[in-house]
């Protein structure tokens, strides 16, 4: 589990690390900051597209071999990126690194659930998710610090070095000989993965992530509008929300083991919706003392990531031998939700103002509850 956690952390820190040094990347490669920002976009879109394809094509390979192959590609892409002569070359190398992360991510979650002792599947899955969530909290400040001290190319060398360490952990700690579930034919896979409970669950994942990332993308602007908070207070609020998210992931994993995935999801999504409504209602009494917003931001961070282990364990239980493929589609749903959240949030900010974003986030949370309820009631077909 140490190896699985660190792999997840390294793969997704690579996505966010570059955000803090975009001006330096733009100057170094002779392009604009907005263009350089697409390096994050390309990484995320590649994961969304490649994850389900890789889950199907690599389904018969032992999980340990998948991890080693992905890490070798990841290390190579980042090492070469440190010497990239042009923006186009850097884009291609970012796509290669993202493809490596996409190939490994579904296998990470499925493998953690497979090796978990009885009654601890939720906690084991939460450990992998904690690696992804931790990268959100640590990626930008870590990349900014390294880039500021040693230059932006050093961020890629750092990621290559971290990939080497992750590879060493896999070779030493991940056992050989863990059996891989032999998947059915591609036609049977498509039949099973398009059943209503899985499709509705994936749609709920997308809706939840859209609502969460909509506020996260514009949280600094929301704080500025509601509290006139300075940059230091904004940084503290985002950092504490990220840490709360990490705590929420662990709590959600424990809750899954104690009361099941469905109940955990309903509690988490309902708490998320109530928090969003509270943040929206504050617009009527703005400006708000910063500690009040900070407290609600911490609750938001915890509830937003509380649901991740429950969603993954639910899909794992529904899909059985197709767990890696289902979890790959869940990864795509997450990143699709990230993209939609940023785009829709921009439209709300432009048309109605940033203070309305929490209300739309709550609406997406409510939609997720409806989808999850439908997924629970709509059983599988007899043939499947």
Find, among 83, 73, 374, the residue nearest to 207 by Cα: 374
Residue 37 in 3-state DSSP? Answer: coil
Residue 367 binned pLDDT confidence (cut-offs 50, 70, 90): very high
User: What does the DSSP assignment read for 194-258?
Assistant: TSHHHHHHHHHHHHHHHHHHHHHHTHHHHHHHHH---HHHHHHHHHHHHHHHHHHHHHHHHHHHH
In a domain, 309, yes or no: yes
Shared-domain flag, residues 44 and 97: yes
**If you average pLDDT over residues 24-44, what whole number do you get?**
79
Residue 66 has pLDDT above 60, yes or no: yes
pLDDT of residue 309: 82
pLDDT of residue 146: 80
pLDDT of residue 215: 81
> What's the angle, vertex CA 334, arms to CA 333 and CA 336, rounded to 5?
65
In a domain, 23, yes or no: yes
In a domain, 178, yes or no: no
CATH number at residue 216: 1.20.1250.20
**If you average pLDDT over residues 292-315, what whole number do you get?**
84
Shared-domain flag, residues 82 and 138: yes
In a domain, 89, yes or no: yes
In a domain, 180, yes or no: no
Tell me, rounded to whole angstroms, the distance of Cα 154 from its chain centroid: 24
- Of 152, 173, 194, which one is at a domain's C-terminal end? 173
Domain of 228?
A: 186-377
In a domain, 9, yes or no: yes
**If you average pLDDT over residues 211-225, what whole number do you get?**
78
Residue 297 has pLDDT above 70, yes or no: yes
Shared-domain flag, residues 222 and 293: yes
Count of structural domains, the chain: 2
Residue 180 binned pLDDT confidence (cut-offs 50, 70, 90): low
Shared-domain flag, residues 217 and 259: yes
Shared-domain flag, residues 24 and 110: yes
pLDDT of residue 335: 75
Shared-domain flag, residues 146 and 218: no
* Average pLDDT value for the chain: 82
Shared-domain flag, residues 223 and 327: yes
pLDDT of residue 270: 92
Shared-domain flag, residues 242 and 366: yes
Is 311 within 8 Å of 201 (Cβ atoms)?
A: yes
**If you average pLDDT over residues 230-240, what whole number do you get?**
72
pLDDT tens-digit series, residues 305-325: 888 888 877 777 766 666 667
Between 251 and 16, whose confidence is greater? 251
Shared-domain flag, residues 121 and 217: no
Lowest mean pLDDT: which of 77-86, 132-141, 245-254?
132-141
**If you average pLDDT over residues 226-242, what whole number do you get?**
74
**If you average pLDDT over residues 10-35, what whole number do you get?**
78
pLDDT of residue 140: 60
Residue 222 has pLDDT above 50, yes or no: yes
Q: What percent of the chain has pLDDT over 70?
A: 85
Shared-domain flag, residues 153 and 197: no
pLDDT of residue 95: 93
pLDDT of residue 384: 43
Residue 274 binned pLDDT confidence (cut-offs 50, 70, 90): very high
> What's the angle, vertex CA 261, arms to CA 256 and CA 267, rounded to 5?
90
- Of 147, 173, 199, which one is at a domain's C-terminal end? 173
Residue 69 binned pLDDT confidence (cut-offs 50, 70, 90): very high
Residue 359 binned pLDDT confidence (cut-offs 50, 70, 90): very high
Between 256 and 18, whose confidence is greater? 256
| Distance in angstroms (rounded) separating the CA atoms of residues 113 and 108 | 9
pLDDT tens-digit series, residues 93-130: 999 999 999 888 878 877 887 888 887 877 788 788 77
Question: Which runs of consecutive H residues, i.e. helices, occur in the chain?
Answer: 2-16, 22-29, 33-36, 38-57, 63-81, 87-115, 121-150, 153-173, 186-193, 196-217, 219-227, 231-259, 261-281, 290-319, 323-351, 357-377
- Of 151, 173, 195, which one is at a domain's C-terminal end? 173
pLDDT tens-digit series, residues 122-175: 778 878 877 877 776 666 667 767 877 888 899 899 999 999 999 999 999 988
pTM above 0.85, yes or no: no
**If you average pLDDT over residues 361-381, what whole number do you get?**
79
Shared-domain flag, residues 215 and 160: no
| Through-space distance between the first and last CA atoms of the chain, rounded to whole angstroms | 32
In a domain, 227, yes or no: yes
pLDDT of residue 185: 61
In a domain, 181, yes or no: no
Shared-domain flag, residues 35 and 153: yes
| Distance in angstroms (rounded) separating the CA atoms of residues 82 and 326 | 34
């Amino acid at each position: 589990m140490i190896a699985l956690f660190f792999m997840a952390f390294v793969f997704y820190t690579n996505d966010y690390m570059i955000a803090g040094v975009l001006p330096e990347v733009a100057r170094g490669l002779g392009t604009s900051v907005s263009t350089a920002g697409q390096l994050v976009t390309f990484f995320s879109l590649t994961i969304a597209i490649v994850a389900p394809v890789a889950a199907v094509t690599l389904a018969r390979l032992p999980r340990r071999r998948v991890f080693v192959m992905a890490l070798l590609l990841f290390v190579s892409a980042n090492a070469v990126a440190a010497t990239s002569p042009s923006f186009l070359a850097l884009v291609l190398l970012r796509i290669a690194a993202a493809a490596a992360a996409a190939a490994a991510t579904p296998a990470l979650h499925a493998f953690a659930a497979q090796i978990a002792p009885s009654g601890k599947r939720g906690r084991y899955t939460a450990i992998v998710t904690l690696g992804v969530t931790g990268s959100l909290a640590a990626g930008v400040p870590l990349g900014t610090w390294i880039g500021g001290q040693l230059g932006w190319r050093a961020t890629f060398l750092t990621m290559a070095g971290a990939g080497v360490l992750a590879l060493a952990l896999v070779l030493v700690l991940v056992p050989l000989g863990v059996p891989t579930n032999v998947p059915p034919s591609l036609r049977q896979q498509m039949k099973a993965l398009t059943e209503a409970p899985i499709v509705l669950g994936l749609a709920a994942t997308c809706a939840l992530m859209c609502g969460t990332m909509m506020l996260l993308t514009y949280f600094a602007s929301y704080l500025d509008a509601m509290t006139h908070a300075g940059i230091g207070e904004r940084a503290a609020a985002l950092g504490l929300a990220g840490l709360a998210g990490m705590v929420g992931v662990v709590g959600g994993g424990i809750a899954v083991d104690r009361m099941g995935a469905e109940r955990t999801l309903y509690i988490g999504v309902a708490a998320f919706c109530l928090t969003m409504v509270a943040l929206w209602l504050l617009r009527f009494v703005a400006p708000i003392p910063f500690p009040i917003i900070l407290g609600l931001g911490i609750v938001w961070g915890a509830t937003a990531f509380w649901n991740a282990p429950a969603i993954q364990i639910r899909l794992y239980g529904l899909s059985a031998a197709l767990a890696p493929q289902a979890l790959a589609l869940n990864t795509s749903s997450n990143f699709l939700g990230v993209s939609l959240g940023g785009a829709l949030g921009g439209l709300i900010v432009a048309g109605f103002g940033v203070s309305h974003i929490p209300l739309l986030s709550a609406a997406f949370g409510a939609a997720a509850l409806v989808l999850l309820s439908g997924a629970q009631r709509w059983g599988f077909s007899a043939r499947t």
